[in-house]
Amino acid sequence: MSHQVVGSRFLGVVACVSLLAACSPQSSTAANAGTPAPAPAATAVPAVPLARGLPDFASLVEQVGPAVVNVAVVERARAQRGDDDDSPFGANDPFGDFFRRFGIPGNVPRDNTPVRGEGSGFIVSPDGYILTNAHVVANASKVTVKLTDRREFEAKVIGSDERSDVAVIKIDGKNLPTVRIGDPSKLRAGEWVIAIGSPFGFENSVTAGVVSGIARDLPGGDRTNYVPFIQTDVAVNPGNSGGPLFNMYGEVVGINSQIYSNTGAYQGLSFAIPIDVANNVREQLIRTGKVSRGRIGVTIQEVNALLAENFGLDRARGAAVSAVESGGPADKAGIKPQDVILSVNGKLIEHSNQVPAIVAAIKPGDKAEIDVWRDRAVKHLTVTVEELKENATVARAGAAGGGADAIDRIGLSVRVLTSAEKQQLHTSGTVIVVDSDGPAAEAGIRSGDVILAANRVRVESVEDLRNAVKGSKHTASLLVQRDSQQQIVAIRID
């Protein structure tokens, strides 16, 4: 059906790659005979092509194409829908503009006329189970599947999962052509991939490109942070949704799901759901009709170079814990704010967006073995994973004003909250930022932030904050609460 659009603004990123030629070592002379000879120059990169010509996709398409299907949908009539009602994220969702379902302008009627749409899918079992996107079959009253040999089947929606945007549908058939499943963890940036689908209703269209990124984290909160998206430059458009992404071995490695665009059409960035994530969803939907995910009750963020230096890590890696749910699984296991998660069940964590997907795939009730970095050492902890539930609404915190004390070393003016203000802000913190300047402002600290800790020391007073940063040499880290969310902020001290 229509494809989701990632982003209402264009973000241009240009990657420049340069080859450094090695210089020949200089000759020694009588004048410098007594000085050490220069170190040997690095070996030059051989001047041979890394790839000879472009691959021929025709044989691959002939092999895998019959298992790719067109999915035609008739949606249930919805009276008097607003402009944003067509979004799978809802009319009032703050990410409604960021993630919009693809569609031809003006194709949403204002009366009770049923809406028709098209998408793609692929057959994963000879008896007719098909994977597609959840947004393709959302609100469907009738789903028709068309094969490449022109046979048509009415399909039943077995189940769909909004968080991953994966749906399973079923047709009655025997000995149907099926795809082969690949391993998306082996994908590398620059690797050739192809997409087959029905863009704008043009069935069985083939486009090719390369993997341009892996494990991408996209905005959208709980609706996207359990999917480490595959980023490609394969052209996908409205109607490609739910179609397969193939590697050069003819294996499905992803489901084309979203694009980044400010026009509603392809602009060079497309995103696919890794097939292992989709298969986990498929198996659960077929077996139980719903998807169960694990959770450990932490809020995490990326570790940048400044945080890594402050924490004493060898380099930027892992997931920094900015908040721990009181009484949650992580809290019971001893995980603390400002810990850095380095691995989960033996899987090394390079980026924070790996953690939600890994934990979500763990069966609730099972144990998760987690290595964390704390006080410049690795600690091994065991967490009993709980089932993920829908998030409760969280009150928003407001900024406070009043007289302040200066922490000149990092450029902060702060004051102590009253008991009434703490209740109003729903915070356990005591010190609030009145103004920021210099290093703190450059790091993003702003008025209204509540400082919970500094350099892993709990802050209960202005004096606690001053003492905690007094001994900082080059960096300081603050655990702050902003709008009911906690985050770790690293400050460079000049």
pLDDT at 47: 54
Work out the burial of residue 58: count CB atoms within 10 Å of its CB; fewer than 13 is exposed, 13-18 middle, 19 or more buried: exposed
Range of the domain at 467: 405-492
pLDDT at 344: 95
Residue 20 forms part of a structural domain: no
Residue 30 forms part of a structural domain: no
Q: Domain check: are 151 and 272 in the same one?
A: yes
Number of domains in the chain: 3
Mean pLDDT for the chain overall: 78
pLDDT at 191: 92
Is 19 a residue whose pLDDT tops 80? no
Active site residue 135: yes
Work out the burial of residue 119: count CB atoms within 10 Å of its CB; fewer than 13 is exposed, 13-18 middle, 19 or more buried: buried
Q: Domain check: are 274 and 304 in the same one?
A: no
Tens of pLDDT, residue by residue over 170-214, are: 999 899 999 999 999 899 999 999 999 988 888 888 999 999 988
Q: Domain check: are 365 and 284 in the same one?
A: no
> In one letter, which amino acid is 258?
Q
Q: Domain check: are 307 and 285 in the same one?
A: no
Q: Domain check: are 73 and 205 in the same one?
A: yes
pLDDT at 130: 95
Tens of pLDDT, residue by residue over 230-283, are: 999 998 888 888 999 999 999 999 999 887 776 666 777 889 999 999 999 999
Tens of pLDDT, residue by residue over 455-466, are: 888 888 888 888
Domain boundary among 289, 315, 344: 289
Q: Residue 104 — very low, low, confident or very high, per pLDDT cuts 50/70/90?
A: very low
Q: Which of 112-121, 298-307, 373-382 has the highest mean pLDDT?
A: 373-382
Active site residue 241: yes
Q: Which residue has the higher pLDDT, 486 or 20?
A: 486
Q: Domain check: are 212 and 235 in the same one?
A: yes
Q: Domain check: are 263 and 347 in the same one?
A: no
Residue 97 forms part of a structural domain: yes
Q: Domain check: are 326 and 380 in the same one?
A: yes
pLDDT at 461: 87
Residue 50 forms part of a structural domain: no
How crowded is the C-beta side of 302, counted as CA atoms within 13 Å? 7
Q: Domain check: are 204 and 330 in the same one?
A: no
Question: Span 337-364, mean pLDDT?
Answer: 90
Is 101 a residue whose pLDDT tops 80? no
pLDDT at 52: 59
pLDDT at 108: 46
How many CB atoms within 10 Å of residue 219?
13
Question: Span 350-377, mean pLDDT?
Answer: 91
| Token pair listed for 321 | 């814990």
Residue 314 forms part of a structural domain: yes
Nearest residue to 353 via CA among 305, 311, 390, 301: 301
Q: State how beta strands 180-181 and 251-260 pair.
A: parallel
CA distances 150 to 69, 124, 143, 337, 432, Å, are 10, 19, 16, 58, 66
> What is the CATH number for 442?
2.30.42.10
Active site residue 165: yes
Q: Residue 15 — very low, low, confident or very high, per pLDDT cuts 50/70/90?
A: very low
Catalytic residue (one of 86, 161, 165, 371): 165
Q: Domain check: are 241 and 125 in the same one?
A: yes
Is 89 a residue whose pLDDT tops 50? no
DSSP code at position 402: S
Tens of pLDDT, residue by residue over 25-75, are: 343 333 344 444 444 455 554 555 555 567 888 889 999 999 999 999 887
Least confident stretch, 314-318, 337-341, 405-409: 405-409
Question: Span 116-134, mean pLDDT?
Answer: 92
Residue 410 forms part of a structural domain: yes
Q: Domain check: are 314 and 354 in the same one?
A: yes
Q: Domain check: are 308 and 238 in the same one?
A: no
Catalytic residue (one of 160, 241, 261, 270): 241
Nearest residue to 140 via CA among 80, 79, 76: 76
Residue 96 forms part of a structural domain: yes
Domain boundary among 265, 289, 313: 289
Is 4 a residue whose pLDDT tops 70? no
pLDDT at 448: 85
pLDDT at 140: 84
Is 94 a residue whose pLDDT tops 60? no
pLDDT at 396: 27
Catalytic residue (one of 2, 135, 343, 449): 135
> What is the CATH number for 282?
2.40.10.120
Residue 116, phi then psi, degrees to nearest 5: -110, 145
How many CB atoms within 10 Å of residue 223?
18
Question: Span 91-106, mean pLDDT?
Answer: 39
pLDDT at 405: 64
pLDDT at 222: 52
Q: Which residues of 12-27 are buried (b: 16+ CB within 10 A; e: fewer)?
A: eeeeeeeeeeeeeeee
Residue 425 forms part of a structural domain: yes
Q: Which residue has the higher pLDDT, 193 or 436?
A: 193
